[in-house]
């Protein structure tokens, strides 16, 4: 990069800060490394962390961050070919099923409800499972259960921990009730056929394993484990269809994309671990400051998310040579600990 280029970039950043004008300059990577060379741990650090570092004016930073977030999400190819195939798979198989079980993530019950699925499966009776309930705030989950139960075609809503499998009998009972209903109205009797749908990594295959009582479907703590459709039988004869996770082509609200990524429905490297970790610290700092403070033994929570991130790194000793903060490791730790429920039971979306 030439000196003139740097000067131009700096001048443009200066004017953005002075007048809080958006759009922001696009050369944050160079600017941050120029302004804070000792703080930048990776040369490819084109993240919102860096954006925060490069602007010391809080208002300008907030404006930039909002824009940056939108760009970050807009630039992602959310809809790879296999998701289109899954959509077709769901559509093709829908005729054959009597009931749909839609799993949503209890921590993000709005963001994890796929509008495409909603569209395709409307008209079929539906049971909504609020999965990963052990990781979410119990009170919020019960509010969500009430709210979601008012949806069209929704027969039941239940919050479950699909990892431990507790309360799975409640779901089995609900399925038996559905079977009874079907038998009463149909002349040809046969066991129920049920399709399981939901965003990637929400717990579809785990639910199937809980219902079958054995490891019938492959599970994993990353999105995209199930690749194709798989029919499985319960001991009572009911047929379950496992499907791959599906997202939708465009997020109107960039926060939806971030929420899905926080909860592991979008691979970390698509947005970038550092960006994601920083954005999560920002949300936790404003919504769950006490939990963040407690988990990372912070003296106080700052309004500046980057300061919180730096303090977490220092407390954990995530420091590289030359006293540089290891943002990658800090972000990874916070994401992993959030996903594992170690920071606390957290719900990121609230019933209004
Ligand atoms: N804590 C907790 N973890 C869960 C729960 N349900 C699933 N998991 C974990 O979440 C991860 C994803 O579960 P899967 O069942 O593979 O999710 P999936 O929806 O089939 O994912 P894809 O096939 O990738 O779309 C696994 O590591 C599970 O152990 C739950 O209720 N609580
Ligand atoms: Mg799966």
User: What is the per-residue pLDDT across 22-42, written as a single tens digit (0 to 9) for each?
Assistant: 233 232 233 334 334 444 444
Adjacent-strand bridge partners of 195: 100, 241
Nearest to 277 by CA among 332, 324, 315, 345: 332
Q: Whose CA is nearest to atom 11 of ligand 1?
A: 221
Give yes or no: residues 61 and 85 share one domain.
no
Same domain, 16 and 159: no
User: Are both 236 and 277 inside the same structural domain?
Assistant: no
Q: Which alpha helices (H) appear in 113-246, and where do they start and end?
A: 115-121, 138-148, 168-185, 204-212
CATH number of the domain that residue 309 is part of:
1.10.1580.10
Structural domain ending residue among the three candidates 75, 109, 138: 75
145, 127 in Cβ contact below 8 A?
A: no
Inter-residue contact 297 to 312 (CB < 8 Å): no
Name the residue at shortest CA distance from atom 32 of ligand 1.
132
63 and 93 fall within a common domain: no
Residue at 265 is within a domain: no
- Nearest CA, atom 23, ligand 1: 226
Q: Would you tell me how many other CB atoms lie within 10 Å of the CB of residue 26?
A: 13
CA of residue 152 to ligand 1 center, whole Å: 26
Q: What is the pLDDT of residue 46?
A: 46
pLDDT band at residue 100, thresholds of 50, 70 and 90? Answer: very high
Cα 201 to middle of ligand 2, angstroms: 7
Flag whether pLDDT at 18 surpasses 70: no
Which pLDDT score, from 0 to 100, does residue 262 have?
Answer: 97
Residue 306 near residue 317 (C-beta atoms within 8 A): no
Average pLDDT over residues 298-319: 95
Which residue among 206, 209, 343 is best mutated to probe the pocket of ligand 1, counting the most ligand atoms within 8 A of its Cβ? 206
Residue 136 lies in a domain: yes
**Residue 247 domain-assigned (yes or no):** no
Residue 196 lies in a domain: yes
Over residues 226-261, the pLDDT tens digits come to: 888 889 999 999 999 999 988 887 777 888 889 999
- Is residue 349 predicted with pLDDT exceeding 90? yes
Nearest listed ligand to the Cα of residue 223: 1
Closest ligand 1 atom to residue 207 Cα is 15
Per-residue pLDDT, averaged over 214-221, amounts to 88
Residues 223 and 119 reside in one and the same domain: yes
Instruction: Please report whether residue 69 resides in a domain.
Output: yes
Indicate which residue's Cα is closest to atom 16 of ligand 1: 219
Clarify whether residues 86 and 199 are in a common domain: yes
Q: What is the CATH number of the domain that holds 187?
A: 3.40.50.300
CA distance 16 to 28: 12
Residue 6 has pLDDT above 90, yes or no: no
Same domain, 122 and 194: yes
- Looking at residue 277, its pLDDT comes to 94
Q: Return the pLDDT at 32.
A: 34
Asked if residue 248 belongs to a domain, the reply is no
Verify that 205 and 349 share a domain, yes or no: no
Nearest CA residue ID for atom 14, ligand 1: 203
Domain extent for 213: 81-242
Q: How far is the CA of 230 from the centre of ligand 2 (A)?
A: 10
Establish if 212 belongs to a structural domain: yes
Indicate whether 205 and 286 sit together in one domain: no
Report CA(167)–ligand 1 centroid distance (Å): 16
Q: Ligand 1 pocket by C-beta < 6 Å: which residues?
A: 131-132, 134-135, 161-163, 198, 200-206, 219-221, 223-226, 244-245
b/e map 110-143, b = 16+ CB within 10 Å: bbbbbebbbebbeebbbbbbbbbbbbbbeebbee
Interhelix angle 58-74/3-19, rounded to 10 degrees, is 110
The count of other CB atoms within 10 Å of the CB of residue 317 is: 8
Q: Render pLDDT for 28-87 as a digit per residue (tens, 0 to 9).
A: 233 334 334 444 444 334 455 555 655 545 555 555 555 666 666 666 655 667 778 888
Query: 137 or 59, which is more confident?
Result: 137
Q: Which atom of ligand 1 has the smallest separation from the CA of 132?
A: 31
Q: Separation of 107 CA from ligand 1 center, angstroms?
A: 13
Q: Average pLDDT for residues 128-146, to the nearest whole number? A: 97
* Average pLDDT of the residues of the chain: 82
In a domain? residue 208: yes
For residues 197 and 330, membership in a common domain is answered with no
Instruction: Point out the least confidently predicted range of 166-175, 247-256, 290-299, 308-317.
Output: 247-256
Say what the pLDDT of residue 48 is: 59
What's the pLDDT at 214? 87
Domain boundary among 75, 96, 125: 75
Task: Based on the fold, state whether residues 111 and 225 are members of the same structural domain.
Answer: yes
- The number of folded domains in the chain is 3
Same domain, 211 and 85: yes
């Amino acid at each position: 990069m030439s000196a003139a280029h740097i000067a131009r970039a700096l001048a443009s950043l200066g004017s953005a800060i002075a007048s809080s004008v958006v759009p922001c300059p696009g050369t944050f990577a160079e600017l941050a490394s120029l302004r804070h060379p000792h703080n930048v741990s990776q040369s490819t650090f084109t993240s919102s962390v860096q954006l925060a570092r490069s602007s010391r004016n809080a208002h300008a930073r907030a404006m930039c961050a909002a824009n940056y977030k939108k760009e970050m999400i807009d630039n992602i190819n959310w809809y790879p070919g296999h998701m289109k195939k899954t959509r077709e798979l769901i559509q093709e198989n829908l005729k054959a099923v009597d009931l749909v079980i839609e799993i949503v993530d209890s921590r993000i019950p709005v963001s994890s409800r796929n509008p495409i699925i909603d569209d395709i499966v409307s008209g079929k009776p539906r049971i909504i499972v609020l999965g990963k309930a052990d990781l979410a705030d119990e009170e919020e989950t019960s509010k969500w259960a009430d709210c979601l139960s008012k949806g069209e075609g929704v027969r039941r809503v239940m919050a479950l921990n699909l990892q431990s499998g507790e309360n799975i009998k409640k779901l089995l009972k609900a399925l038996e009730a559905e079977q009874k209903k079907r038998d009463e109205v149909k002349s040809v009797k046969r066991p129920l056929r049920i399709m399981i749908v939901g965003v990637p990594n929400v717990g579809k295959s785990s639910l199937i394993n809980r219902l079958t009582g054995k490891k019938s479907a492959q599970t994993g703590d990353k999105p995209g484990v199930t690749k194709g459709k798989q029919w499985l039988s319960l001991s009572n004869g009911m047929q379950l269809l496992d499907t791959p996770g599906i997202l939708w082509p465009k997020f109107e609200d960039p926060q939806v994309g971030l929420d899905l990524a926080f909860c592991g429905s979008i691979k970390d490297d698509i947005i970038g671990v550092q960006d994601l970790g920083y954005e999560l610290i920002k949300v936790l700092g404003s919504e769950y400051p006490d939990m963040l403070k407690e988990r990372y033994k912070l003296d106080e929570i700052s309004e500046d998310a980057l300061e919180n991130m730096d303090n977490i790194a220092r407390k954990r000793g995530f420091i590289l040579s030359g006293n540089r903060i290891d943002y990658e490791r800090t972000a990874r730790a916070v994401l992993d600990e959030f996903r594992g429920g170690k920071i606390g039971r957290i719900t990121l979306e609230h019933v209004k």
